[in-house]
Structure 1
Amino acid sequence: MQGETGAALRDRVAQHIQAIYHDSPLGASPEGLAAALLDIMRLPPEQAPPLQHVNHWNQCDAVLITYGDSLLGRDEKPLATLKRFLDENTDRLLKGVHILPFYPWSSDDGFAVLDYSSVNEALGDWSDIEAIAADYDLMADLVINHCSSRSLWFENFVKGQDPGRGYFFTADPGEDLSAVVRPRTSPLLREVETSEGTRHVWCTFSHDQVDLDFRNPEVLKAFVSIVRQYLDAGVRIFRLDAVAFLWKVPGTSCLNLEETHEVVRLLRTLVEHARPDAMLITETNIPNRENLSYFGNANEAHCVYNFSLPPLLLNTLVTGDCSYLKQWVMAMPPAQNGTAYFNFIASHDGIGLRPAEGLLSDEELDRLIQAMQRFGGHVSYRALENGESRPYEINIALFDALQGTVAGPDEWGLERFVCAHAVMLGLEGIPGIYLHSLLGTRNDYQRVEHTGHARSINRHQWDLDLLQEALADGDSSHSQVFRRLKALLAIRRRQAAFHPNATQFTLHLGTAVLGFWRQSMDRRQSVFCISNISREPQALNLMDINLIDSHQWMDLIGGEVYGSRDQQLELRPYQTLWITNLPDHC
């Protein structure tokens, strides 16, 4: 690999293209399309490849997830307000920021893109994006499966003009499409009158989100051009939105097809040659085994969203039983160097239930859904092959989701919420924290009523002045959440044992205490992460976690020093300990 030349790179890209288009007419040779893609990416004719299996992250990495207009200030565009808030309030504890689609859009809060090459004027402009990218690792969405039905591309598709003619996937409504897996209950095909007659356009998500047809190489070239533009604007991390649905073959599930995986491999090859520390993250809200397949052999996504974590951790904390979560943690394979899990427990979307399939029983899922509905949450559904529907996600703000247990609300909501984040921050992987979790934002029923969409419950827009007042009030839940989560982030970033690829082993401490052990890559530091996930005090003997007598151990969170390995502790409800032999070892 180290001796690869420009021609060899072209050959490698051509191999990707051959694998993608093996059954589709290209209109050009794979080598010709490869040369065109390299020209779009402005890759030098002779360029050494990047080093393989390199971790472009460490324990300092944590990513804030936010919409561009979640914070609204006076007399400035929201992107400028966002940067000012980050600069003045987060103490540089968040190395990265994922700004959800900041492009002009027509629906789905940005995920029906009108124009990939522009910044939504209501948010700011490219100079605002570049300013954020200059100080933070910027993650941007590559909304690659579909775009808006009101985009220029789709208007041109209807007219039979370029660019757009042949850009969208159509199907015969007479074909058997019953095997297609979808996250929605709306009809899959949308009838459209075009210059070439009636066409039935494929819509995986909504009729305003029309699916692109990557069988047409012009679509691939258009997206490679978009990638190049984002790199030029400072984007380092590309979130491949809904990528699992990308390639369609009627008669199949149209999910996770091999051509889709090959497109991801191609994009990785192009991106990592353009910027060696650039990263691809696949957003694949699907069952766990299928999700993990997007690592490939460390040649696809650098990171995959750990979609099973949110429902499993939520279930753990509202039932007081960590059995299912512990089984999953034990079964998760370590991410090899050059790859990492992207951990999150809340996002702009709901808490997905598909990633819990096969991990939680139907009875457990029903009990969880009922508890969330009692706490003010909504449930979204997806269509099954037989025409029935099945719960797809729970829509609720995480702070409200953790206000109680299956028995009902209680006084432990704040502690339970902080415990959830302490667990996530300790686990192998890179943590992503949703802005509204960092701020302890509650269910926004008014926004749901205004938009008519259940997901809006967790998409509140803060007036910055009101937010600053809430954060300045030391007794407010917002202030307490913000302060305590920042404290955990500050501790985490100083511990080498919390490197995203550091060793992890699960401890067996019963059903009410979740424990796992992290060890730094140089094997000098250990951290035992132990959480009482119940609302009853739990006894813990330090001998149970096999501490070494020759070391002095202390809790990084509470500061307590332990003088004897047979010391008996009592964990308060939802208390987390990070017990280490070598504090602040980086």
Structure 2
Amino acid sequence: MTSRQRQFEQRVTHHLAIIYAGILDDAQCQELAAQLLELMLKGDVVRQPTPHKSRWDERDAVLICYGDSVNKTQAHEPHTLPTEPPLYTLKQFLDTYTEGAINSVHILPFYPYSSDEGFAVMNYVQVNEALGSWQHINDISKDYRLMADLVINHCSSKSLWFSNFIANVAPGKGYFKTANISDNLEGVVRPRTSELLNKVRTAAGEQHVWCTFSHDQVDFDFANPQVLREFVAIIRFYLDNGVRLFRLDAVAFLWKVPGTSCINLPQTHEVVRLLRTLIEHVQPQAIIITETNIPNEQNLSYFGNANEAHCIYNFSLPPLLLHTLTTGDCTALKKWMMRMPPAQDGTAYFNFIASHDGIGLRPAEGLLDTVQINALVACMQRFGAKVSWRTQNDGTLAPYEINIALFDALQGAQQGPDNFAVARFLCAHAIMLALEGIPGVYIHSLTGTENDYERFNNTQHNRAINRHRWHWHDLEAKLADPHSHHQKVHRGMLNLLKIRGKQKAFHPNATQFTLHLGQEIFGFWRQSADRQQSIFCLFNISNQPQTLSLEDLNLVNTQPWCDLLSDIVYKDMSTCLSMRPYQAIWLTNTTT
């Protein structure tokens, strides 16, 4: 064993000693560490990751989509089976309609599943035959950096593992978390209203299985080291198949102890640290992203001391930005920005404002008050939204998530729909793309997709409203139609992405400061690491014209400044900017 391998094994053993304190002794931790290294290395050399090194730059942007977000069918027969594997069609969409503005893609769970559109996984190492094969996944990963879900908290009740759990045989025996009905579970934090425990008859007797999300999604018991071994093997398999970004789905709920909240427990954080150690010593360019839809301060904790997640989802951004653009008041957004710590080198925020899920409201807790949240929910319901609820510890219901397509969410302000939908939509993305962090763009934001009421009516699942499946011929026609808002959104989005990717001041870790320009103009300043480029990011977030003097920005007046979005050059610093409703300006001292 080389000295580097020995150090690697010692680090893994240290993580395991913390995770399994009181469960495994020192010798057992050492033995488990050796097994995990064998699973991960598979004969490869141990690589030494560079600490605090960013694995991204301003060119990075991630498209979020399902494997079948776009399908090719017989012309004028949209409800027939696809004529080619959807993953093959997805590659064509990426090559044809992102025009080099997107270099990474998050394909939502592409494994066989039984419910929750992929998040009740039946087999982690198979590709859903309805989508394609591992060859199609490999083909995408050759041209785009691939993000895949590690659905680590739970799997399908229809999986082989759970069938074996019921039969009390391996593999599966002892894999799932159970509890006694007499256990103290009052403090358990959950995002759903269903019963936490599901009574199941097994060969070992009647057991109550833990189900954080639904009774078809049964929670793993990571106190059983065999579960950890299974997932380490899965991680290595994903690495071998081109995955470089690992999205740890619902990881905050991973470790459970009755009598606690069963969320964000110390063992959960240590498991994230362990997985990072294992992954980056095999593939230093790989990235872990934690999906923790929880209040802001709890979410930030998953950075650790730059030793847990490389990236965290910036979950507070969507509800805050939606509140800002529907009220015309950026006060709450500014306060949040000023409280957000800069991500350390080697870590970054993952910014998004739309995804396959809805607009989460828990991340707005402490940032918006109850009146503001209720007003936002009511506004979105007027725009066609559905609302998902959660049960609080006192038994009452609280809004958990707003389910709506982002284009419809931004069709108007609190006063109602208006004629600024496209401008407001592009303004929202101009803000997101300019912020510190890596941007994630939902495929339906790239195409300006509206609420899918047919899909909702067919499934009766609230989230289906925002999970439209495009048929290639329909999408092709809409993106070619100059009168369609779909084309306006698509061209506008690509323009923003292409411009962003050329600016060093938009590096995910470039300096950021909040500007104070009143309620109606939201602004912040970005500066590149070499201090050569500054960009003043200015946004009229109201439905009324606004005026701003360049003197208020204290620009260096020895050089001209150019708006990257309009190409207008300003030489006179006494100039007043007249900003249209929802206009975005990226004002820079250098252009490339």
Q: TM-score range by the shorter chain?
A: over 0.9
3-state secondary structure, aligned to 2:355: coil
Deviation per CA, 1:309-359: give whole Å up to 9, x if none.
Answer: 000000000000000001111111000100000000000000000000000
Indicate conservation of the 8 Å contact 2:110/2:118, yes or no: yes
Indicate conservation of the 8 Å contact 2:511/2:528, yes or no: yes
**Could you tell me how far 1:565 is from its partner in structure 2?**
1.0
- Aligned runs of 1:14-93 on 2, under 5 Å? 14-25=13-24, 29-42=28-41, 47-74=46-73, 75-93=83-101
Indicate conservation of the 8 Å contact 1:7/1:45, yes or no: no
**Could you tell me how far 1:234 is from its partner in structure 2?**
0.4
Indicate the residue corresponding to 2:462 in structure 1. Answer: 454
* 1:573 counterpart = 2:573: no
Indicate conservation of the 8 Å contact 1:66/1:97, yes or no: yes
- Measured in 2, the distance between the counterparts of 1:378 and 1:464 equals 27
Ranges in structure 2 where 5+ consecutive residues have no aligned partner: 74-82
Deviation per CA, 1:530-561: give whole Å up to 9, x if none.
Answer: 00000000000001111101121010000100
Indicate the residue corresponding to 1:241 in structure 2. Answer: 249
**Could you tell me how far 1:468 is from its partner in structure 2?**
0.3
- Aligned runs of 1:348-387 on 2, under 5 Å? 348-387=356-395
Indicate the residue corresponding to 2:161 in structure 1. Answer: 153
Larger mean CA deviation between 257-266 and 42-51 belongs to: 42-51
- Measured in 1, the distance between the counterparts of 2:302 and 2:67 equals 28
Indicate the residue corresponding to 1:188 in structure 2. Answer: 196
Indicate the residue corresponding to 1:496 in structure 2. Answer: 504
Indicate conservation of the 8 Å contact 2:109/2:148, yes or no: yes
**Could you tell me how far 1:387 is from its partner in structure 2?**
1.2
- Aligned runs of 1:139-538 on 2, under 5 Å? 139-538=147-546
Indicate conservation of the 8 Å contact 1:7/1:46, yes or no: no
Indicate conservation of the 8 Å contact 1:43/1:274, yes or no: no
3-state secondary structure, aligned to 1:517: strand
Indicate conservation of the 8 Å contact 1:382/1:391, yes or no: yes
3-state secondary structure, aligned to 1:509: coil
**Could you tell me how far 1:28 is from its partner in structure 2?**
5.9
TM normalised by structure 1 equals 0.98
Indicate conservation of the 8 Å contact 1:4/1:47, yes or no: no
Indicate conservation of the 8 Å contact 2:557/2:571, yes or no: no
Indicate the residue corresponding to 2:77 in structure 1. Answer: none
**Could you tell me how far 1:4 is from its partner in structure 2?**
5.6
**Could you tell me how far 1:46 is from its partner in structure 2?**
6.1
Indicate the residue corresponding to 2:564 in structure 1. Answer: 556
Indicate conservation of the 8 Å contact 1:4/1:48, yes or no: no
- Measured in 2, the distance between the counterparts of 1:269 and 1:522 equals 30
Indicate conservation of the 8 Å contact 2:17/2:26, yes or no: no
- Measured in 2, the distance between the counterparts of 1:525 and 1:25 equals 53
Indicate conservation of the 8 Å contact 1:5/1:46, yes or no: no
- Measured in 1, the distance between the counterparts of 2:468 and 2:276 equals 34
- Aligned runs of 1:128-147 on 2, under 5 Å? 128-147=136-155
Indicate conservation of the 8 Å contact 1:26/1:216, yes or no: no
Q: Which amino acid aligns with 2:225?
A: P
3-state secondary structure, aligned to 1:382: strand
Indicate the residue corresponding to 1:96 in structure 2. Answer: 104
**Could you tell me how far 1:53 is from its partner in structure 2?**
0.5
3-state secondary structure, aligned to 1:205: coil
- Measured in 1, the distance between the counterparts of 2:559 and 2:286 equals 39
Q: Which amino acid aligns with 2:67?
A: G
Q: Which amino acid aligns with 2:477?
A: E
Indicate conservation of the 8 Å contact 1:63/1:94, yes or no: yes
**Could you tell me how far 1:23 is from its partner in structure 2?**
2.5
Q: Which amino acid aligns with 2:246?
A: F
- Measured in 2, the distance between the counterparts of 1:267 and 1:375 equals 42
3-state secondary structure, aligned to 2:430: helix
3-state secondary structure, aligned to 1:167: coil
**Could you tell me how far 1:24 is from its partner in structure 2?**
1.9
**Could you tell me how far 1:47 is from its partner in structure 2?**
3.0
3-state secondary structure, aligned to 1:336: coil
**Could you tell me how far 1:181 is from its partner in structure 2?**
0.1
3-state secondary structure, aligned to 1:274: coil
Indicate the residue corresponding to 2:553 in structure 1. Answer: 545
- Measured in 2, the distance between the counterparts of 1:376 and 1:46 equals 54
Deviation per CA, 1:380-439: give whole Å up to 9, x if none.
Answer: 001111111110000000000000111111111111000000000000000000001110
Q: Which amino acid aligns with 1:409?
A: P
Ranges in structure 1 where 5+ consecutive residues have no aligned partner: none
Report how many aligned residue pairs link the two structures. 582
- Measured in 2, the distance between the counterparts of 1:130 and 1:45 equals 20
Q: Which amino acid aligns with 2:7?
A: A
- Measured in 1, the distance between the counterparts of 2:46 and 2:197 equals 44
- Measured in 2, the distance between the counterparts of 1:205 and 1:276 equals 33
Indicate conservation of the 8 Å contact 2:561/2:570, yes or no: yes
Deviation per CA, 1:439-463: give whole Å up to 9, x if none.
Answer: 0000001100101100000000000
Indicate conservation of the 8 Å contact 1:182/1:204, yes or no: yes
Indicate conservation of the 8 Å contact 2:559/2:571, yes or no: no
- Measured in 2, the distance between the counterparts of 1:270 and 1:474 equals 50
- Measured in 2, the distance between the counterparts of 1:4 and 1:347 equals 44
3-state secondary structure, aligned to 2:281: helix
Indicate conservation of the 8 Å contact 2:290/2:311, yes or no: yes
**Could you tell me how far 1:285 is from its partner in structure 2?**
0.1
Larger mean CA deviation between 574-583 and 71-80 belongs to: 71-80
- Measured in 2, the distance between the counterparts of 1:18 and 1:312 equals 40
- Measured in 1, the distance between the counterparts of 2:587 and 2:386 equals 38
**Could you tell me how far 1:43 is from its partner in structure 2?**
5.7
Indicate conservation of the 8 Å contact 1:62/1:430, yes or no: yes
Larger mean CA deviation between 384-393 and 177-186 belongs to: 384-393
Indicate conservation of the 8 Å contact 2:549/2:577, yes or no: yes
Q: Which amino acid aligns with 1:465?
A: H
For residues 210 and 572 of structure 1, do their structure 2 counterparts lie closer, same or farther at Cα, with a shift above 3 Å needed?
same
**Could you tell me how far 1:244 is from its partner in structure 2?**
0.2
Indicate conservation of the 8 Å contact 2:343/2:349, yes or no: yes
